Amino acid sequence: MLARGVSRSSVIQSLKVMLIPGRYGLERWSYVLQRVSGVVVSLYFIAHVLETGNFVGGITVWSVPDYSFAERAYEETVKLLKNPIFDAGLAVVGFLVALHTINGIRLVLAHFGFSLGRPRRPEPFSPPPSFSSKQRALFWLSISLAVFALLYTLDSLMKVFRP
């Protein structure tokens, strides 16, 4: 599995650096969250296609199955997924998708050199121009929308905020 010259301990070290934001501040948190959300959403996407594909016969989709099969597969899937663990999982996916999209737009802007401050003479105690207030605002917007998506999903699936 491991490439030549790559020791197990260096893989663990890399994972630690990638997944633990440490004390490096907001932008490092964004880096970790963007990665984790990207990977989780990719995995979710694969699982989602496999799961919905079942209704039309999964891998044998090219020979379309009859309606009763699709209906049964659908009922079974719905029954399997109708439990609080999957609901909570979907809420987390909702959180991550909202975060990834808005924070992704923030990163695209930054990568194109927009919404950043201009180079200026360094001054003690003032943040680097690349940590501009526009960039920070977009980050917090992504967090807020992600929290909203989380609560909204929980509410629509589990009716947690309804009397």
Among 26, 27, 29, 41, binds ligand HEM (CB under 6 A): 41
Of the candidate spans 30-38, 59-67, 113-121, 147-155, the one that interacts with ligand HEM by CB under 6 A turns out to be: 30-38
48/61 Cα distance (integer angstroms): 16
CB nearer other proteins, residue 111 or residue 162 = 111
| Residue 22 binding result from ligand HEM, other proteins, none, given CB thresholds of 5 to 8 Å by partner type | other proteins
Residue 129 to residue 114: CA distance in whole angstroms: 12
For residue 99, which amino acid is it? L
Distance CA 80, CA 47 (A): 14
Residue closer to ligand HEM by CB (options 106, 150) is 106
Interior angle at CA 134, CA 131 and CA 151, nearest 5:
105
Q: Which is nearer to other proteins, 107 or 146 (CB)?
A: 107
Amino acid at 106: R
Considering only residues 53 through 112, tell me which ones interact with ligand HEM, judged by CB under 6 A.
100-101, 104-105, 107-108
CA distance 45 to 49: 6
Q: Which does 17 bind (CB under 5 to 8 A by kind): ligand HEM, other proteins, none?
A: other proteins
Interface ranges with ligand HEM (CB under 6 A): 34-35, 38-39, 41-42, 45, 100-101, 104-105, 107-108
